[in-house]
């Protein structure tokens, strides 16, 4: 069977950036930067991205590019007959777990987009969020819709589905977020938001800051879960890895920064405390839209529509990469057709996602290590599976791949891949365990 490939370096970067740019950029980065030293955090983040995240990215990408296989198959080729290869199954499972809960949030975004289109938010918008997530039916319907959209793109294939969707979406996402940021920055009182994001504050910087920055760079660049590997396996032999790595990291950070300028100035202009996570986009922002709507009803509706559209599309470009990782596995290792693979994985992730969704309502009593199902899935993957996957990838790239080839492809980063990254990642793993 002929392997499908992305057309050129630009479309590879667009696809990788699509996977990278997502909810992590919108709801975690702005808050994290603001809380952990502003510009100081951003500098530390860039430091972590270049010295730690990039070598992992290059490891995953070179494994994909040279084995021309999806994630488990690639690992099997590098560890033939070794029991260690079974660890590779983590990288098949991780993106599917993320997809399950990510799709729930994608669903909420669809619901908020719908509300924005249908007439805007009501006065009691903040409590509306709590009511939405704890109600059993609507979130499930929206989760189903989000997963169907994701499946539709993946079903269309690497070139006509994934490549085409990202090639259009990434420029659109940048245009949208810039429009929102320009608007947000012109609001009276917005300067305090800029200060919150940028003012270097070293009193908030400590060892923890590095751990946060590393965790954020892992999640944001989609590392350690086989998505980078899978997309790289659709690279042609002459595609440049360094260019892809730097390009992806650059666009990912740029988007996170602009998202910060889209969100925080508006939050401060409205005179409220910035929150993080879901609360920031599903409570704080709708509240601002309602407040703005009193004086500027049309503009407020428009910005609200554009904003939730941005979130839905950004989430989709990420969820597609998660589903594709599983589809490539079933297709190559188990002989499933693309259609059958998508159908099976739809059923699996829909079910786990439904449990995650219900864990805010009817199943809120179910706790695993003190966490509800949704948070447990997130913690399990973000704190453990991603880190284990990353460790496996740097080990394979640094010690199992052809050294000459790796040096040629990754240049100075090779030293990090081989000697530095494994220890740093292991240290992160231990610190998460404790
Ligand atoms: N990078 C995505 C984000 O920032 C999330 C993601 C994680 C995507 C892992 C694919 C794989 O939201």
* Mean pLDDT calculated for residue range 284-301: 85
Ligand 1 contact via 88 beta carbon (within 6 Å):
no
Q: How far is CA 377 from the centre of its chain?
A: 15
Confidence bin at 1 (pLDDT 50/70/90): low
Closest residue (by CA) to atom 7 of ligand 1? 222
**How many Cβ atoms from other residues are within 10 Å of residue 225's Cβ?**
32
For ligand 1, whether the C-beta of 17 sits within 6 Å is no
For the stretch 33-85, pLDDT in tens is 888 889 999 999 999 999 999 999 999 999 999 999 999 999 999 999 899 89
The alpha helices in 159-240, defined as continuous H runs, are: 164-185, 191-198, 207-220, 227-232
Question: pLDDT band at residue 224, thresholds of 50, 70 and 90?
Answer: very high
Cα of 208 from ligand 1 centre, angstroms: 22
Does residue 150 have its Cβ closer than 6 Å to ligand 1?
A: no
The CB of 23 under 6 Å from ligand 1? The reply is yes
Ligand 1 center from residue 25 Cα (angstroms): 9
Q: How far is the CA of 218 from the centre of ligand 1 (A)?
A: 9
Confidence class for position 172, pLDDT limits 50, 70, 90:
very high
- Which mutation among 17, 20, 327, 386 tests ligand 1's pocket best, with the greatest number of atoms within 8 A of CB? 20
pLDDT at 307 > cutoff 80: yes
* Across 270-285, average pLDDT: 82
Which pLDDT band, with edges at 50, 70 and 90, does 204 fall under?
A: confident
| CA–CA dist 60, 396 (Å, integer) | 9
304: Cβ below 6 Å to ligand 1? no
Collapsing DSSP to helix, strand or coil, 368 comes out as strand
Report, in angstroms and rounded to the nearest whole number, the Rg of the chain calculated over CA atoms.
21
Helix, coil or strand: residue 390: helix
Cβ proximity of 374 and 356 under 8 Å? yes
C-alpha 8/C-alpha 296 separation (Å) is 44
Long-range contacts of 390-393 (CB under 8 A, 24+ apart): 390/56, 390/218, 390/223, 390/224, 390/421, 390/425, 391/224, 391/422, 391/425, 391/426, 391/429, 392/75, 392/87, 392/88, 392/90, 392/91, 393/56, 393/59, 393/60, 393/63, 393/91, 393/224, 393/229
If 0-12 CB within 10 Å is exposed, 13-18 middle and 19+ buried, where does residue 208 land? exposed
pLDDT at residue 276 greater than cutoff 80 = no
Interval between CA 361 and ligand 1 midpoint (Å): 25
Question: Is the Cβ atom of 225 under 6 angstroms away from ligand 1?
Answer: yes
**Residue 95 CB–ligand 1 contact under 6 Å:** yes
Q: What is the pLDDT of residue 381?
A: 94
Averaged pLDDT score across all residues of the chain:
93
Is 287 a residue whose pLDDT tops 90? no
pLDDT tens-place string over residues 184-195: 999 889 999 999
Q: What residues contact residue 423 under an 8 Å CB cut-off, 6+ apart?
A: none
CA dist 20 and 37 (Å) reads: 23
Q: Which of 5-19, 283-297, 314-328 has the lowest mean pLDDT?
A: 283-297
Flag the least confident range among 47-51, 71-75, 279-283, 332-336: 279-283
Count CB atoms within 10 A of the CB of residue 402: 11
**Higher per-residue pLDDT: 212 or 55:** 55
pLDDT-based confidence at 135, cuts 50/70/90?
Answer: very high
Least reliable range by pLDDT among 74-83, 111-120, 269-278:
269-278
Query: How do residues 86-98 score in pLDDT, each as one tens digit?
Result: 999 999 999 999 9
The average pLDDT across 308-320 equals: 97
pLDDT at 434 (0 to 100) = 81
pLDDT at 277 over 80: no
pLDDT at residue number 165: 97
Q: At what angle do helices 241-269 and 285-295 cross, to 10 degrees?
A: 50
Least confident window among 53-62, 166-175, 207-216, 330-339: 207-216
The pLDDT value recorded for residue 298 is 87
The verdict on the CB of residue 220 being under 6 Å from ligand 1 is yes
């Amino acid at each position: 069977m002929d392997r499908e490939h992305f057309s050129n370096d630009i479309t590879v970067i667009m696809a990788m950036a699509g996977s990278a740019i997502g909810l992590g950029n919108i709801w975690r980065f702005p808050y994290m930067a603001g809380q952990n030293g502003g510009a100081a955090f951003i500098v530390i983040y860039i430091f972590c991205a270049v010295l730690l995240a990039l070598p992992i990215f290059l490891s995953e990408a070179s494994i994909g590019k040279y084995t021309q296989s999806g994630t488990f198959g690639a690992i099997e080729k590098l560890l033939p007959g070794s029991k260690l290869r079974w660890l590779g199954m983590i990288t098949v499972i991780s993106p599917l777990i993320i997809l399950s809960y990510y799709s729930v949030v994608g669903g909420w975004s669809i619901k908020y987009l719908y509300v924005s289109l249908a007439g805007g938010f009501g006065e009691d918008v903040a409590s509306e969020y709590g009511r939405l997530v704890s109600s059993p039916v609507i979130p499930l319907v929206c989760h189903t819709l989000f997963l169907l959209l994701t499946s539709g793109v993946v079903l269309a294939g690497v070139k006509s589905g994934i490549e085409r969707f990202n090639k259009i979406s990434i420029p659109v996402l940048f245009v949208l977020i810039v429009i929102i940021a320009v608007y947000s920055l012109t609001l009276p009182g917005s300067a305090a938001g800029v200060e919150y994001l940028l003012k270097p504050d070293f009193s908030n910087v400590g060892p923890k800051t590095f751990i946060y920055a590393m965790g954020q760079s892992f999640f944001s660049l989609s590392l350690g879960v086989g998505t980078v590997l899978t997309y790289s396996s659709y690279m042609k032999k002459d595609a440049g890895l360094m260019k892809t790595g730097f390009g992806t990291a650059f666009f990912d950070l740029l988007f996170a920064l602009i998202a910060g300028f889209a969100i925080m100035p508006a939050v401060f202009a409205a005179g409220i405390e910035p929150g993080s996570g879901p609360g920031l986009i599903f409570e704080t922002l709708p509240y601002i839209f309602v407040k703005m709507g009193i004086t500027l009803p049309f503009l407020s509706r428009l910005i609200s529509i554009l904003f939730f559209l941005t979130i839905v599309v950004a989430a989709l470009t990420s969820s597609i990469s998660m589903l594709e990782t599983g589809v490539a596995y079933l297709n190559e290792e188990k002989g499933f057709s693309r259609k059958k693979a998508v159908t099976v994985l739809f059923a699996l992730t829909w079910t786990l996602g439904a449990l995650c969704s219900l864990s805010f309502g009817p199943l809120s009593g179910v706790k695993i290590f003190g966490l509800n199902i949704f948070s447990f899935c997130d913690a399990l993957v973000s704190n453990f599976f991603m880190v284990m996957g990353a460790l496996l990838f740097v080990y394979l790239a640094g010690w199992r791949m052809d050294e000459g080839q790796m040096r040629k492809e990754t240049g100075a980063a090779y030293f990090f891949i081989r000697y530095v990254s494994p220890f740093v990642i292991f240290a992160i793993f231990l610190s998460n365990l404790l």
